């Protein structure tokens, strides 16, 4: 067999490998993309599996509940936390500073 025929044979074999490997990679990518896109809980994961069974299912706090700060059955969002701090800390400080200013003169 001469060199040209040998190289042609090698090219044919390599094309076959490429086709096979490319097909397998495409198949794996399709399966993976279908799995990633499946939002129907393909692993049948429950909240207990990820530890959420121990987390209370409380609603978000309302602004009045956040400002008062005595409700123990609501979750605080960042906004409600800021509102609670404003009401319970900064407003109280403002009253204290105003009172001190009046006393000083």
Handedness of CA 32, 38, 39, 40 (dihedral sign): negative
pLDDT of amino acid 45? 87
Q: 26-73, pLDDT tens digit by residue?
A: 999 999 999 999 988 888 888 888 888 788 889 999 999 999 989 999
Which helix or strand (DSSP H or E) is residue 100 part of?
A: helix 91-104
Q: Read off the pLDDT of each residue in 6-32 and give the average, rounded to a whole number.
A: 94
Secondary structure of residue 96 in the 3-state scheme: helix
pTM of whole model > 0.85?
Answer: no
Mean pLDDT of 19-25: 95
Question: 16 pLDDT band (50/70/90 cuts)?
Answer: very high
Write down the domain spans for the chain: 1-44, 55-104
Angle at 71 between CA 65 and CA 73, to 5 degrees: 115
Is the predicted pLDDT of residue 94 greater than 80, yes or no? yes
């Amino acid at each position: 067999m001469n060199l040209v025929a040998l190289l042609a044979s090698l090219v044919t074999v390599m094309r076959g490998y490429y086709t096979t490997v490319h097909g397998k990679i495409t198949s794996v990518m399709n399966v993976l993309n279908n799995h990633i896109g499946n939002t129907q809980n393909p692993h049948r994961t429950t909240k207990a599996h990820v530890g959420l069974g121990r987390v209370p299912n409380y609603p978000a706090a309302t602004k009045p509940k956040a400002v008062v700060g005595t409700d123990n059955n609501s979750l605080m969002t960042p906004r409600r936390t800021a509102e609670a701090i404003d009401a319970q800390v900064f407003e109280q400080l403002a009253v204290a500073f105003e009172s001190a200013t009046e006393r000083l003169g």
